[in-house]
Structure 1
């Protein structure tokens, strides 16, 4: 059982679905007061109603002012101890067809969204006896995949940010890490499966097989497996773990 500091306050971005939802639920179960941050009020209300988060805040992570306001509101309720920068999106296209707007969208949500979240949460966190910043990156932040060059570039940027910020904060009580899942059983990956089916004419089983071929275990990762790793990094026993990119991908990396 992971031991968290006494009743920590955790903010999880992109908390209403997939990996973010599972992280929020597991942190809540472990005793954290979770603020779920997302874009859709109804989905956030559902998360709180089901007991997977205590509080909610509306913000699009690409909007720096909105993120700052949401973090100030969250910190006013209880100082922030843990930030899970999870919000993200993926679009696939060949490099030749990837225009500047696609690259900008991927950088805005997957990289600048992390930057905005950390910059807004860190002032509150630095005053605490225990701080954890965890960015949900991807194996695409550590290797290349065809047809997602913009997404991979943004995730590589996240890894660089984590490694650099960890050094800046090494003498404080705040650690900074990334968790890098492989293809995970979420609605985001379901969209990738639909794209493969549409572009190649393959059926769903064949499309899933195309994605799971990257995982030596031959399967999709579960959101719970990613959340378990996050929970460990949040615990007291991970105080010496910083600047790392922890891979959850069945041996792919």
Structure 2
């Protein structure tokens, strides 16, 4: 219960990686606000020390109002997990400006807006942890997904810039970079690969699983454990890092 008394905010917290992180933080004693665009998944995910707040990370006003409501209800945000995002591959010559802006607006702008809003209250406290859920694509690039890779690289760069800005202060900034995780996003992308290439479901799934060197999908709980470590009692020297949860992928 080392996080007792801390308020954590997790975007995209109603499902998948975000929900796993929210549950891990709550089990460690934190009061957790989970956010998302859809109310139903948030309500389904609520539980002991976990409360939902409807918020769209791509809309500045929604983020400012959503974070303000969370702070009013549960106090200053001391753990900010910018997790909300979308994942879709598309060749660059097939990428129009609308697709590019949607990818950046949710993944990168959403991360920026969330962290900026949370820092307003976090900076008034004596301890803070900021985690951006990027991707292995934010380190090495992902074939067939240049827009997605660019958005995830941007998140890593944002964390490194903030770590430099706040060096010596009691707030750390780190990115988590998982490879393919067993979530609805993977399931959705399997369908898209099937439609685009004519692959069978088994082959489309293997095309994604095969990227992970250990030959399986990563579990959301494994990513959550890494987030919990970054909020742990001996985590103060982990700052500006891109922590890979990728089954050995280099």
Q: Under a length normalisation based on structure 2, what TM-score does the superposition of the two structures give? A: 0.96
Is 2:71 the counterpart of 1:75? Answer: yes
Corresponding residue of 1:27: 25
Is 2:148 the counterpart of 1:151? Answer: yes
Corresponding residue of 2:215: 218
Please list, as runs of the form range in 1=range in 2, the aligned pairs for 1:1-253 lying within 5 A after superposition.
Answer: 4-48=2-46, 51=47, 53-77=49-73, 78-253=75-250
* Unpaired stretches in structure 1, ≥5 consecutive residues: none
- Give SS of 2:58's match: coil
Aligned 8 A contact 2:12 2:85 in 1? yes
- Tell me by how many angstroms 1:242 deviates: 0.5
Q: CA separation in 2, counterparts of 1:214 and 1:12?
A: 27
Q: CA separation in 2, counterparts of 1:55 and 1:104?
A: 30
- Tell me by how many angstroms 1:217 deviates: 0.5
- Tell me by how many angstroms 1:41 deviates: 1.4
- Tell me by how many angstroms 1:6 deviates: 3.4
Aligned 8 A contact 1:5 1:130 in 2? no
Q: CA separation in 2, counterparts of 1:21 and 1:241?
A: 23
CA RMSD of aligned residues (A): 1.2
- Give SS of 2:108's match: helix
- Give SS of 1:237's match: coil
Aligned 8 A contact 1:140 1:156 in 2? yes
Q: CA 1:52–1:85 in 2, change beyond 3 Å: closer, same or farther?
A: farther
Q: Under a length normalisation based on structure 1, what TM-score does the superposition of the two structures give? A: 0.95
Q: CA separation in 1, counterparts of 2:191 and 2:36?
A: 24
- Give SS of 1:236's match: coil
* Unpaired stretches in structure 2, ≥5 consecutive residues: none
Aligned 8 A contact 1:13 1:20 in 2? yes
